[in-house]
Structure 1
Amino acid sequence: MEPITSYPQFHAQEDKQKIITFLWNWFTNNGPQAKAVIGISGGKDSSVAAALCVEALGKDRVIGVLMPNGVQSDIDDALCLVKHLGINYRIVNIGAPFKEMLKALQYTEMQSSNNFFFTVTDALLQNLAPRLRMAALYAVAQGIPEGGRVINTCNRSEDYVGYSTKYGDSAGDVAPLAAYTVDEVLSIGEALNLPLQLVHKAPSDGLCGKTDEDNLGFTYAMLDKYIKTGICDNPDTKAKIDRLHRLNKHKLTPMPVVER
Structure 2
Amino acid sequence: MLRDAQATKQALVKWIQEYFAKNGPTCSAVVGISGGKDSSVVAALCVEALGKERVVGVLMPNGVQSDIDDAKEVVATLGIRHMVVNIGAAVESLKQSILDGDHFSDITGSTEHARDAVINLPARIRMTTLYAVGQNLPGGARVANTCNGSEDYVGYSTKYGDAAGDFSPLAHLLVEEVREIGRTLPIPAHLVDKTPSDGLSGQSDEDKLGFTYAELDRYIRTGICDNVETKQRIDHMHKINLHKLQLMPSFDADEYVKK
Q: TM-score, normalised by structure 1?
A: 0.94
* Cα RMSD (Å): 1.5
Paired with 2:161 and 2:239, the residues of 1 have a C-alpha distance of 20
| Structure 1 counterpart SS, 2:199 | coil
Q: In the alignment, which residue of structure 2 is the partner of 1:3?
A: none
Q: Counterparts of 1:9 and 1:185 in 2: how far apart (Å)?
A: 9
Q: Which amino acid aligns with 1:170?
A: A
Residues 42 and 107 of structure 1, relative CA distance in 2, 3 Å threshold: same
Q: Deviations over 1:177-209 (max 9, x none)?
A: 101000000000001132111100000011111
Q: 1:106 to 1:230 in 2, by over 3 A?
A: same
Alignment gaps of 5+ in structure 2 = 255-259
Report the Cα offset of residue 123 of structure 1: 0.4
Q: Which structure is richer in relative contact order (CA contacts within 8 A, separation 6 or more)?
A: 1
- Structure 2 CA distance for partners of 1:35 and 1:108, relative to 1, 3 Å: closer
Q: Percent identity?
A: 55
Q: Deviations over 1:79-106 (max 9, x none)?
A: 0000000000000110000000001000
- Which runs of 4 or more aligned residues in structure 1 lie more than 4 Å from their structure 2 counterparts after TM superposition? 112-115
Alignment partner, residue 137 of structure 2: 144
User: How far, CA to CA, are the matches of 2:162 and 2:3 in structure 1?
Assistant: 25
Partner Cα separation in structure 2 for residue 169 and residue 10 of structure 1? 28
Tell me what 1:89 maps to: 82
Cα pair distance change 1:115/1:29, threshold 3 Å: same
In 1, distance between residues paired with 2:3 and 2:143?
A: 26
Match of 1:100 among 93, 108, 126: 93
Correspondence 1:226 to 2:219: yes
Over 3 Å counting, the alpha-carbon distance change for 1:239 and 1:96 in structure 2 is same
Q: How far apart, CA to CA, are the structure 2 residues paired with 1:246 and 1:83?
A: 40
Q: Secondary structure at the match of 1:149?
A: strand
Distance 1:141 1:172 in 2: 11
Is 1:166 matched up with 2:164? no
Secondary structure (helix, strand or coil) at the match of 2:56 reads: strand
Matches within 5 A, 1:50-65: 50-65=43-58
Q: TM-score, normalised by structure 2?
A: 0.94
Asked if 1:254 corresponds to 2:247, the answer is yes
How far apart are 1:236 and its partner, in Å? 0.5
Query: Where do residues 91-240 of structure 1 align in structure 2 (5 Å cutoff)?
Result: 91-109=84-102, 115-117=106-108, 118=110, 119-240=112-233
What number of residue pairs does the alignment pair up? Answer: 251
Conserved? CA contact 2:145–2:162, under 8 Å: yes
Contact 2:98 2:104 in 1 (8 A): no
C-alpha distance in 1 between matches for 2:82 and 2:234: 37
C-alpha distance after superposition, 1:159-189 (max 9, x if no partner): 0000000000000000001010000000000
Among 30, 45, 66, the alignment partner of 2:23 is 30
